[in-house]
Amino acid sequence: MRHSFLHVVAIALVAIMVCACQDTEGELQTKVYSFADSTEYAHVALTAELPASYKGVAAQITNVLHQELDERLSRVTSYEGQRFFDPFDGDLSDNDAFMGYYFSEVLKLLSGLSQQDVEDRAKYIEEDQELTPERKAEILAAMPQWEYEYTLNKIEDTPQYVVFDSQDYIYMGGAHGGVGGDGCLTFCKKDGHLVTPFIDPEREEDIQDLLREGLVRFFAESGYEVSKDKLDEYLFIEDGHVPLPVWQPYPGKDGLVFTYQQYEIASYATGMPSFVIPFEDVAPFLTQDARRTLGI
C-alpha cells in the first residue's frame, strides 16, 4: 500500500524524537544536489542544498524541507493548487533519490505541457489567413522554450538558527517569466522546528511605520525620490495599509529582512521590494517563538 508523503514524514519524525539530539551549535553540514536537462520545448534545472546528515535535528530540518519541495515541485504551473504527480515514497534519508524523482517528474510534466502549447500555437498560426506562408514559417521556427529553475540554498547559519532560501523561476512562453517559491525558511537549531510566523499577526497595524519607512528606503536605493506621504502612489494597497509580505521575513546580519514578491504590492517593473528592519526596532513586534530563536 502506498503511504502518503505526510504519513511517511510523520513516521520519520517519531523516529527522530526518540533519538538523542546531535550538537547543532556548529555549522549545519550540507550537500548540494543539482539536476538539469532539456526536451524539445522545455528546460528544467533543480538545485537544492540539503543537510548532509539524517540524524537528530538535521533530519527534522530535512523532513520539513522535503515537504516544502514536494508542495512546490508537484504543483508547478498550477494556479489552483492541483498536484500533478504522486509524492516521493522512498527512503527519506536518500536526498539524491528524492531530488532525482522530482526532477524526473517535473521534466516529464513540462515536456508534455510545452509540447501541447506549441501544437496549439501552431494550429492557431496555420489558420490565420492574414499571415503569409513566409511569416508563418518564421513564427513556427521561433517557438518559445519553457523554462523552470528551482533553487534552495542555505544563506544564514548561526548557533541559534539556520536559514534556507527557496525560490523558483518559470517561463511558459508568455511576455515574461515570474519569480516564486517559498522565500526564506528559518529553522531553530535547538530542535529543528520551522520558525513561523516571525511577526505577531495581531501587531500588523502597529508595525506600519516601520514597513513604510523600509519601503521608502527601498525606493530611494532604487533611484526613486519617494517621500513617506507619497508612498501609496507607488503601491497596490488599500486605505494606506501595507500588508505583511507573504514570504516570512528572515534574520540577516543587520536585522530582519522583509521581501515582497512581484506584483504583491507594486508593479512588475518595481521588482521585489526588500528592506531590513534592525532587530532592536522590530523586537516588540516579534512572536515569542521568534524572540526565543533569535535570543532577543
Cβ atoms of 283 and 291 within 8 Å: the answer is yes
Asked if residue 240 and residue 155 are part of one domain, the reply reads no
Q: Is residue 195 situated within a structural domain?
A: no
pLDDT at residue 229, rounded to an integer: 81
Q: What is the CATH number of the domain that holds 243?
A: 3.90.640
Identity of residue 114:
S
Q: Is residue 136 situated within a structural domain?
A: yes
Q: Which residue has the higher pLDDT, 192 or 141?
A: 192
Asked if residue 205 and residue 173 are part of one domain, the reply reads no
- Give the domain extent around 214: 201-294
Which among 248, 249, 236 is positioned nearest to 276, based on CA atoms?
249
Average pLDDT estimate for 223-243: 88
Q: How many domains does the chain have?
A: 2
pLDDT in tens, 244-272: 999 999 999 999 999 999 999 999 889 99
Q: What is the CATH number of the domain that holds 142?
A: 3.30.565.40
Residues with Cβ < 8 Å from 188, sequence gap 6 or more?
160, 161, 195, 289, 292, 293
pTM beyond cutoff 0.85: yes
Q: Is residue 286 situated within a structural domain?
A: yes
Asked if residue 223 and residue 111 are part of one domain, the reply reads no
Which of 88-102, 179-193, 228-242 has the weakest average pLDDT? 228-242
pLDDT at residue 25, rounded to an integer: 59
Q: Is residue 205 situated within a structural domain?
A: yes
pLDDT in tens, 116-147: 999 999 999 999 999 999 999 998 888 889 99
Q: Is residue 193 situated within a structural domain?
A: no
pLDDT in tens, 150-180: 999 999 999 999 999 999 999 998 878 888 9
